[in-house]
Amino acid sequence: MSSGSIPTVYVQWETFLHWLLDRTEGFPKRLRFTLTSRIDNRALDVFERLVEARYSRDKINLLSAINRDLEILRLLLRIAHDRRALDHRAFDHATVQIDTTGRMIGGWLRQQRQRSNTR
């Protein structure tokens, strides 16, 4: 990843984050202070950890944490879907975006592991 350009995973996640925040803003009031805040905070945590991973020497632990956050976010969104706060189309879109990000993080993680093995 070159330090001068914005990594693709940042752009992809930021675009998804805007979309997701627009969706959770419309969740029913009964879910707003429980599920909505957990989803929003977890998605924002992913974004923060992406930035941390870019500049950290310990990328492997941060990238692993992002993968865990993505899995938790996927489960929270499934609950939102089950509670009818997310329709089928929105849920499908969210899972595709999370999977795409997960693949990007997985590639970055493999790259970092290979680098650490050659040192």
Please compute the mean of the pLDDT values over residues 66-84 and round it to a whole number.
97
Please compute the mean of the pLDDT values over residues 57-83 and round it to a whole number.
97
Percent of the chain predicted with pLDDT > 70: 96
pTM exceeds 0.75:
yes
Cα distance between residue 86 and residue 64, in whole Å: 27
Q: Which of 67, 69, 79 is nearest to 36 (CA)?
A: 79
Tens of pLDDT, residues 62-71: 999 999 999 9
The first and second tokens of residue 29, run together, are 């009031």
Inform me whether the pLDDT recorded for 5 exceeds 90: no
Position 6 confidence tier, pLDDT thresholds 50, 70, 90? confident
Which residue carries 């998605």 as its tokens? 43
Q: How many CB atoms lie within 10 A of CB 80?
A: 22
Residue pair 114/79 in contact by the 8 Å Cβ criterion? no
Cα distance between residue 117 and residue 78, in whole Å: 37
Residue spans of the domains in the chain: they are 8-118
Beta strands in 12-93 (DSSP E): none
Tens of pLDDT, residues 13-50: 999 999 999 999 999 999 988 999 999 999 999 999 99
Task: Look at residue 80 in the predicted model and tell me its pLDDT.
Answer: 97
SS3 content of the chain, % helix, strand, coil (to 5): 85, 0, 15
Task: Look at residue 97 in the predicted model and tell me its pLDDT.
Answer: 98
Protein fold of 8-118: de novo design (two linked rop proteins) (1.20.1440)
Cα distance between residue 21 and residue 105, in whole Å: 21
